[in-house]
Amino acid sequence: MTSLAAVSTLLVLLAWMGSQDEAAALLVDDCPTEACTCQSHSVHCSKQNLTVVPDFRQTGTRFYSLELADNAITHVGASAFASVSTTILDLSNNPIRTFHDDAFLGLEDILEDLELNNCTLVSLPASIGNLRRLKTLNIRHNPALTALPSSVMTTIGITLENIDFSNTGISTWPAALSSNIRLKNLRASGNKIPRIPNDAFLAFAATLQTLDISYNQLTAFPDAINELRSVKTIDLSFNNLVTIPPGKFTNCRYTLSTLYLVHVFFREIPHGLQDLAAIKNLYLSYNPINTAQDDVFHGLISTSLQVLHLDHSLLATVPKALNSLTALHELNITNNRLSTVDNFAFSGLHNLEVLYLDNNPITNVKTAGFSGLSKLKKLYIRNTPLSYVPNSAFSYTPDSTPSVASVLQVLDLSNNKITQLFEYGFPGMTSLQEVTFSGNPLSNVSANAFEDLTNVQMLNFEHCQLTSVPQAVRVMPRLRRIRLEGNNIECSCQTLAWVEKWRETSGLIAQLDGHCANSTRFIQDFVDTDARSCP
């Protein structure tokens, strides 16, 4: 199931369990057919190579779910479920060609969730129209299904809350959805819909919370979205929107919290996002964005946005506009064209906690490059040509605000071009807990490189070019693990005797991960045994 289906299923389960007394709950052992197993209020008939719906016997038990998915059922006959009472029915992944008009007889006032995903449906079964309590209908991955008939949708529209018709053959917006007055979650991803009528969402404008119309053929932002008054999540990814003019979120600007605009062909960040007062998560990944006007985040969005993804774009510099986002907690600008982190690039991001700069051609981080990041906890600069640890940028602060050095907890510099770690390379970085250098051509670590790293618990040197365990770790009183796999460390008294003595005198039980270069043994095994006998 999708996350939407999982959530709705959980809600159904909680409501269902609340309506059952303890005696009824114990009756689940009385399974309605020998072709299936029963457990936890569910009848499990999935993946049994069934070609027909089993004959169910009456047990008097109301089950939570009946699972018939992943079989070879081609037809659902009349009264197929009349003897089994269930809240959820899953027929997904069956090559069902036909349903009898009375297929769901007996479930009319019981069934709340019907799963018909990937069932080779050509049309929506008329028998669905008899389900007077249906709340969730999932019919995704039925490519031959080209319409939602009004005759069915009108009768279930009074109760239906969740519908997913993603990846079907529907190429025009279904007018029949105008009957769904209680719809909360609507997913229509992966169809070939070119436009959304202006009145498409009017019937459920006050109730809809999730809208997914990604992977369609939209060429403009749908004006119908402006009618939504309760929506929290919208996904418009993989459409050809190009831009969003101002005023398109007027009615939902105080409710919309998550917006996906991935791969919609933006060349710049649109001003139409400015008034999103409740937005917390904004995903602009995979757009050819190469610029952002300085005022693009002026407005209500400046104090609401917490997560921003601008990865896989064409940014050559960090946009000044980002410094307006005073509430931002996470920023992802990986896979861009950044070669330098300029002074004060993030100076307005006083609440930023996580920064991703991976897969950029970064060779230089200027001294004030991280100025203003007084709450930064995690920094990732991976897969770049950077050849040094930018410690001066970590330590710099123009005033009394904390520097990055004093607050950073996780530093990942994997797969860069760092060849050596110099003395006192991490000044003032007393909060650091995890440091990763894996995949660097690192061969030399100075004896005093890790001064001030008093709280580090994990050091990762995997796939570097070390020939010994760096003795710089002696000053790290809380170190618990050193990852050394993929180096060229020989296990001998000359190289490792000091490790056992250090562990003994410091009281540490630091784990050394990795193999000896001169044998098949683990480094840890040598330290625990042979090193104790070294002179």
Chain segment 455-468, per-residue pLDDT in tens: 999 999 999 999 99
- Yes or no: say if 276 and 250 are a contact pair by the CB < 8 Å rule: no
What is the distance in angstroms between the CA of the first residue and the CA of the last residue of the chain? 62
Q: Report residue 455 as tokens.
A: 């709280």
Spatial separation of the C-alpha atoms in residues 238 and 107, rounded to whole Å? 39
Q: Give the mean pLDDT of 418-436.
A: 96
Predicted local distance difference test score (pLDDT) of residue 526:
94
Which residues share a beta bridge with 434?
410, 458
308-323 confidence digits (pLDDT tens): 999 999 999 999 999 9
The answer on pLDDT for 5 being more than 80 is no
Q: Closest by alpha carbon to 483, among 509, 462, 455, 507?
A: 462
Residue 23 scores a pLDDT above 50 = no
Q: Would you state the pLDDT for residue 15?
A: 52
**Has this prediction a pTM greater than 0.75?**
yes
Exposure string of 190-221, with b = 16+ CB inside 10 Å and e = fewer, is bbebebbeeebbebbbebbbbbbbbbbebeeb
CA distances to 110, 179, 349 from 201, in Å: 28, 10, 37
Say which CATH superfamily domain 1-175 falls into: Ribonuclease Inhibitor (3.80.10.10)
- Asked whether the predicted pLDDT for residue 4 surpasses 80, the reply is no
Structural domain spans, the chain:
1-175, 418-535
Identify which has the larger pLDDT, 5 or 431. 431
Flag whether pLDDT at 295 surpasses 70: yes
Distance, CA of 278 to CA of 295 (rounded, Å) = 19
Inform me whether the pLDDT recorded for 294 exceeds 90.
Answer: yes
Using the structure block, give the residue that is written with the tokens 């996780």.
Answer: 410
Q: What is the rounded CA–CA span in Å between residue 381 and residue 357? A: 5
User: What is the Cα–Cα distance from 515 to 535, expressed in whole angstroms?
Assistant: 23
29 pLDDT tier (thresholds 50, 70, 90): low
Cβ atoms of 426 and 389 within 8 Å: the answer is yes
- The β-bridge relationship of strands 98-99 and 136-138 is unpaired
What pLDDT does residue 345 have?
Answer: 97
pLDDT at 220 over 80: yes
The pLDDT-based confidence of 26 (bands split at 50, 70, 90) is very low
Query: Is residue 281 a contact partner of residue 258, using CB atoms and an 8 Å limit?
Result: yes
Indicate if the pLDDT at residue 22 is higher than 50: no
Distances (CA, A) of 424 to 126, 395, 449, 464, 492: 75, 12, 5, 20, 28
* 368-410 confidence digits (pLDDT tens): 999 999 999 999 999 999 999 999 999 998 888 899 999 999 9
Across 36-60, b (16+ Cβ under 10 Å) vs e yields: bebeebbbbbbebebeebbebeebe
- How confident is the model over 166-189, as a mean pLDDT? 97
CATH topology identical between 1-175 and 418-535: yes
Q: Which two tokens stand for residue 499?
A: 């490790």
Query: Which of 390, 383, 388, 297 minimizes the C-alpha distance to 342?
Result: 390
Helix (H) or strand (E) holding 98: strand 98-99
Residue 417 tokens read as 């071009």
DSSP one-letter string for 170-217 = --S--GGGGG-TT--EEE-TTS------TTTTGGGTTT--EEE--SS-
Please say whether the dihedral angle defined by the alpha carbons of residues 313, 318, 321 and 324, taken in this order, is positive or negative: positive
pLDDT classification of 508: cutoffs 50, 70, 90? confident
Class of domain 418-535: alpha beta
Model pLDDT, residue 32: 87
What span, in angstroms and rounded, lies between the C-alpha atoms of 311 and 42? 43
**Mean pLDDT computed over every residue of the chain:** 93
Give percent of the chain with pLDDT exceeding 90. 87
Between CA 462 and CA 167 the distance in angstroms is 43
From the CA atom positions of the chain, what is the Rg in Å? 30
Lowest mean per-residue pLDDT among 277-281, 345-349, 447-451, 502-506? 502-506
The confidence band for 57, taking pLDDT boundaries of 50, 70 and 90, is confident
Distance from the Cα of residue 285 to its chain's centroid? 13
Q: Over 60: is that where the pLDDT of 28 sits?
A: no
- Mean pLDDT value across residues 258-270: 98
